[in-house]
Amino acid sequence: MFNYFKKKYIKTIYLAGGCFWCTEAIFQRIKGVVKVIPGYIDGIVKNPSYKDVCTGKTGHTEAIEISFDEKKIKLEDILEIFFSTHDPTTLNRQGNDFGTQYRSGIYFTEVKQKEVANLIITKLEKEKLFQNPIVTEVKQAKPFFVAEEHINYYNQNKRQPYCSVTIDPKLNKLKTYFKNYIATENE
């Protein structure tokens, strides 16, 4: 009976902030995040491969599925971290990664998530935290396809040049500005 009550607090949302290796590495380290899975969302091809998605012709974006315990972390906090660790103002590009598969997006599973995402975007725009308008799309989640060969990529490939040049600075930013959200080994 306890598991039933515990599970009702676990929520899922999908976030696309460029390369899923980056977003996976960030959210794997956050208290209250139960599971992070990289994959593809919002496309027209069923079960696309990494190679398919890289062509930019499937309509998918690289994203992560995040399951989180809303008793331990609020969606607002997850989205604050999300908007702080990628550039939500560049259309179809994050750093040297470009194409529609690298667009910024929030794919909600509940109407409440849509409302929260839109409120945060409105707040960020009003506060003019970014020089350019936010282009992050907010859409109902469509089928998500797991990128199995990419699971836990950063943790297994920390010494790869892409990881040290692109992911390490994002993790350093996370440690600097969101240290209270970082899980310890036991969490």
Task: Check whether 85 has a pLDDT greater than 70.
Answer: yes
Q: Are 12 and 33 in contact (CB under 8 A)?
A: no
CA dihedral (128, 181, 166, 44) positive or negative: negative
Residue type, 74: K
pLDDT at 6 over 80: no
Distance in angstroms (rounded) separating the CA atoms of residues 139 and 21: 22
CA dist., res. 136 & res. 123, Å (int): 14
User: Is there a contact between 155 and 25 (Cβ–Cβ < 8 Å)?
Assistant: yes
Does the structure show a pLDDT above 80 at 157? yes
| 54 noted as active-site residue | no
How confident is the model at residue 175, as a pLDDT? 95
**How does pLDDT run across 114-147, given as a tens digit for each residue?**
999 999 999 999 999 999 999 999 999 999 999 9
Q: What is the DSSP string of 44-67?
A: SSSS--HHHHHTT-S--EEEEEEE
pLDDT of residue 134: 97
pTM: 0.94
Mean pLDDT throughout 37-62? Answer: 96
